[in-house]
Amino acid sequence: MDRFADHRFDDARLALEAGLTAQDLFLKRNDILSSPLFDKVSPSLLRWVADHRGRVIAIEREGGRFQARFAGDPIRLGWRALLSRDDVHALLRAALTGDTDLPRTVRLHCADGQWRWCLIRLARIVTMDGRPRWYGTVEDVHDQHQRDALSRALAESQEHYRWSVQLNPQVPWTAAPDGNIQEVGPRWSELTGMAPDQAMGTGWMGALHPDDIEPTVAVWASSLVSGAAVDVDYRIRLQEGGYRWMRARASARRDAQGRIVRWYGTLEDVHAERLAQHALSDSEERFRLAVQSARLGIWDFDCITGARSWSTEFRKMLGLDDEQPASTDLALRLVHPDDRDRLQAMLDAVTADMVPPHFEATLRIHRADTGALRWIRSTGWTMRSHAGRPQRIIITFLDVTEERDAEQRIRWAATHDPMTRLPNRALWQASLETLAGQAQATGQRFGLMLLDIDDLKRTNDSLGHDAGDALLCAFAERLAAVAPADAVLGRLGGDEFGLIAPSLVDSAGLEQWSARLMDSVRTPLMHQGRPLDCGVSVGGALFGEHAHRADNLLKAADLALYASKRAGRGRLTLFHSELRAEAQQRGSMIRMARQVVADRLVTPFYQPRIDMRSGRVLGCEALLRWHHPRLGVQLPGSIAAGFHHSDIAVALTAQMLDGVLTDLRQWLAEGLDPGRVAINAAAADFAHGDFADRVLRQLDSFAVPAEHFEIEVTESVFLDRGADEVARALRHFARAGVRVALDDFGTGFASLTHLKQYPVDVLKIDRSFVSNVDQDAGDAAIVDAVVKLGGTFGMEVVAEGVETEAQAQCLLELGCVVGQGFHLGRPQPFSAFHPPKRG
């Protein structure tokens, strides 16, 4: 026993009297060994006593009955060396737990080096001092144990025979050298219901399926002649009816001369396997038909033998005949050079046993017969052994060339403009993000330019959309022709294009390239024999100087493009910090305009339109003002950016319309004659398509006759998108009796075609021509021409911005009798404007 066991004895308080010496123990030995407590245990050949520490303190052999001689002295703790570790622990557990009901069989190490089986019994008492003590015996049961082991082995052998033979699912049988059955296992009767004696000789054939008798007899007869082993499948009729597939196998036992002494065989139930084989055959046939109908090619690779086989469909796919041997070299030759490394890597993985259970790849091949390039998608499966090694690899191949082409067309259509064939905004901006990320990492610069075709709308309106489309395509071609070799071009929408070029790294480069582009597009484009003018406005910015992120760079270029268009188009503007300040100012204006709309702060002021011959008030123009809660009345310039914002512009027009119609209704109710009151309409008002209907409904609801109302538009309304909606709305106004005035005439791009196309009643000469009409002969000529043009078309002509008497007299001399301006009357609120009484 080890020290741990000693402690466990101590903890259990199995100690003798403290201080007891070895001499004392010796003097008391006779008293101990004569204790009547030995009567509680079975008669034994060796007696022993152990103290509370587990030390053997006395031992005695009973005569010569105990034959074993120990390999060591068991006194005190010497007994531990005579037992195995497991037996020592078992005895200690029995002693501590009081488990003394059953004897313990252990092996003791003897002097001759052998281990003998012994039976140990023990009993526990508590001495007068409260300490435990154990009394026990050791009996040599080695011979009995050996006999018991032989008995158990014999019983196990008998049981094994019963399970192996009698309960074996196979049916053992034997036959004489002539093939007549001599013995058959008991399961034969259980299966067929045929008694064993009925199966003797050839009687067993009575249980066979009729269709299987002849082939079975032929196999058996052949083996009887040749002496070869028998292996045949047939069906037997079952006791409960029906048939079941069985496999009969037999081998011949021969004597020293080689003559057959007896046949030994088994009958094995293979019904499930046979059904599975039939099912597998059916499945394989269905799979073959499915593969054939799906146009799949098969590459079957045996990893053990290295054999490869290619299906007929796969050979057709590669353009090979059936005689061409399947080889790796041939496959590599047919694969596109750029994809050969991928195929070689897959083949190397097979060789190195590293191929995954499932894999897919798409490769390009050149057909062996025509050389045509085809896309082939391969899908592979690996079958492995129990040890994990690949045994077989099946790869299917499908020609996906048409599918791939369709996907590429779809992908191209999703990322390109179909008209100009340039990348669309999504792809172009993705390229910008990529280039910006690379530039951030390397510290490089690149240029970005936004380009807007000038007057594309005018081309569409004057010559038709086919001409506008031709202009877009021609511009894209010229843009691509002069673009730097590393440029990324894109059509961003409508008439806007984008260019990114890593080679344009400074302002000088942007300016030089912009000049080349403008020179290129300056030459008129021809479409169906007609020249098409093509101007371009450009905004540019540099990554690394004007912005350090893609989105900020795009915003900077957009601000520069906006500045180019505001400055008169046909020019390049490079981004500078003032543009951002202007953008912030516009943003502030838009926020203020939203607040004006939300708080309904709009109020109309009225500026009279005067007959300069008589001074009579012919009507007025309603001008937008708004009332600041702290600063009072404000001019529209403080929210000018809001008029270019569609939602805000529409809301401002709606509030002006409500105010004007309210004032008109009151003037009419008071018997005053305001004449025609004009209200300005923005392009955004016409975008919804029902602008005319809404205005006319409000005229009806306020009971204001149409002859007292006038819609005033600028030339830009005709040139914006949605011109068809504008034309329909103006015609609707004209039919209802609402007059239409064309404001700022002469400063935009309106043409005689527009004057013919739209129902314009009034031409308003822009103040830029009126301000110097009495001093500038050119301005006077323009005014004279407009007056005559208006007369030719039957239109009223009104001069705006009349500031002096000299201007008024000059205008009268030129035939313009109606004017509007500070000299004739300042804008006034409703309370200060007094129309004349109706006559």
| Long-range Cβ contact pairs of 53-56 (< 8 A, separation 24 or more) | 53/6, 53/9, 53/10, 53/14, 53/15, 53/16, 54/1, 54/5, 54/6, 54/9, 54/14, 54/92, 54/95
Number of neighbouring beta carbons within 10 Å of residue 641: 20
User: Does residue 348 carry a pLDDT above 80?
Assistant: no
pLDDT confidence of residue 276: 80
Listed range (199-208, 285-294, 374-383, 655-664) with the worst mean pLDDT: 285-294
The DSSP bridge pattern shows strands 46-50 and 132-140 to be antiparallel
Class of domain 3-146: alpha beta
Summarised one tens digit per residue, pLDDT across range 401-438 is 888 877 788 888 888 898 999 999 999 999 999 999 99
User: Does residue 322 carry a pLDDT above 80?
Assistant: no
CATH match of 294-405 with 3.30.450.20 = yes
pLDDT confidence of residue 19: 46
φ, ψ dihedrals at 616, nearest 5°:
-75, 140
The DSSP bridge pattern shows strands 525-527 and 530-532 to be antiparallel
User: Does residue 17 carry a pLDDT above 50?
Assistant: no
**DSSP conformation letters of 722-790:** -HHHHHHHHHHHHHHT-EEEEEEETSS---HHHHHHS---EEEE-HHHHTTTTT-HHHHHHHHHHHHHH
Summarised one tens digit per residue, pLDDT across range 690-726 is 899 999 999 999 999 999 999 999 877 776 556 778 8
Segment holding 123, helix H or strand E: strand 115-126
First to last CA, the chain: 139
Summarised one tens digit per residue, pLDDT across range 771-788 is 999 999 999 999 999 999
Q: Report pTM.
A: 0.48
User: Does residue 27 carry a pLDDT above 90?
Assistant: no
Bridge partners of 108, per DSSP, are 116
User: Would you place residue 610 in the very low, low, confident or very high pLDDT band (cuts 50, 70, 90)?
Assistant: very high
- Architecture of 589-829 per CATH? Alpha-Beta Barrel (3.20)
* The CATH number of the domain covering residues in 168-275: 3.30.450.20
User: Would you place residue 16 in the very low, low, confident or very high pLDDT band (cuts 50, 70, 90)?
Assistant: very low
User: Does residue 678 carry a pLDDT above 80?
Assistant: yes
* The CATH number of the domain covering residues in 416-575: 3.30.70.270
Please give the DSSP secondary-structure letter assigned to residue 686: H
How many whole angstroms separate alpha carbon 612 and alpha carbon 617?
Answer: 9
pLDDT confidence of residue 10: 38
- What share of the chain in percent tops pLDDT 90? 41
Q: What residue spans define the domains of the chain? A: 3-146, 168-275, 294-405, 416-575, 589-829
Answer whether 3-146 and 294-405 agree in fold: yes
Is residue 731 within 8 Å of 759, Cβ to Cβ?
A: yes
